[in-house]
Amino acid sequence: MLLKSCSALAARRETFYHTHGAAQGQQVPHILNNTMTFKQILDQLPDSTTLIFKWVERCEVGSDLDEELLDMEIGDSGIAEELAILAADPALTSIGPSQDARAAGLLEGYNRGDYEFAEYMADVIERNWREFKWIEYDVKALNRAKLHLEMRANIKMSAQQYKKINPYNLIGWLVSYDAEDGPIVDEEFDETGL
C-alpha cells in the first residue's frame, strides 16, 4: 500500500510559463553574486565544459514496496516525464535516453504527428528505465511502516549542447559542473534570468 504519492515539479514550469509571460520573452530579474543570474553564468561557460543535470523526486511509501509498486511510483512521480522532456529536446536527441532508445529500436513505433514525442519518450522511459539505468533510486527505512524513496535521473551534456536547449525544459533540474574556483554541485536551474 502506498502511503503518499510522489509529486513532480512539472506544474511549476507550466505555472511559470503562463503567469510570467515567458511566451512573450519577459524576464524575471534575479541577481546571483550581485552581478549575474545562474543562467548567464552557464551561458558563458566554455563549450567543452561538462554539465550534469539531475532531477530528484522524493516520497514516503509503505514498507511493502516491491518492483511493481516501485514502477507505479516511477510513473506517478513525473520523473519519467521530466527526463523525456529533456531527452526530446532537439539539442539532446543524440545523447542519453533518446540515443539509447533509438539504438535499441524502441522508437520505431513512434509515428510523427500521432502525439508529442516527449509523451512517447516518457512511456519508453517508464517501461525500460531499469534496463538502461535511466533512473536510479534509493530506499531508506523511516520506521517499520514507512520507507523514504528517492528517485534520480541524470543527463550529462556539454555546455555547447546546453546552450542549444530550450531553457524552460531545464526548470527544476539541478546542475553540477567544475568551475575555475571549485565544483558547483546541485545548483537548481530555475526561472530566473530566462
* pLDDT computed for residue 115 by the predictor: 76
Cell representation of residue 38: 545562474
What single DSSP character describes residue 132?
A: H
pLDDT in tens, 75-115: 999 999 999 999 999 999 889 999 999 999 999 989 887 77
Query: Which runs of consecutive H residues, i.e. helices, occur in 57-183?
Result: 67-77, 79-87, 96-103, 117-132, 159-162
Helix (H) or strand (E) holding 150: strand 146-158
pLDDT in tens, 155-181: 999 999 999 999 999 999 999 998 888
pLDDT in tens, 35-91: 678 888 899 999 999 999 999 999 999 999 999 999 999 999 999 999 999 999 999
Task: Concatenate the DSSP letters of all residues of 9-75 into one string.
Answer: SHHHHHHHHHHTTGGGT------BTTTB-HHHHHHTS-TT-EEEEEEEEEEEEETT--HHHHHHHHH
Spell out the long-range contacts of 173-178 with Cβ–Cβ below 8 A and sequence spacing 24 or more.
173/53, 173/54, 173/55, 173/82, 173/86, 174/53, 174/54, 174/55, 174/56, 175/42, 175/51, 175/52, 175/53, 175/54, 176/51, 176/52, 176/54, 177/45, 177/49, 177/50, 177/51, 177/52, 178/49, 178/50
79 vs 27: CA distance, rounded Å: 27
Q: For residues 153 and 113, which has the higher predicted lDDT (pLDDT)?
A: 153
* pLDDT computed for residue 36 by the predictor: 78
Task: Output the pTM of the full model.
Answer: 0.78
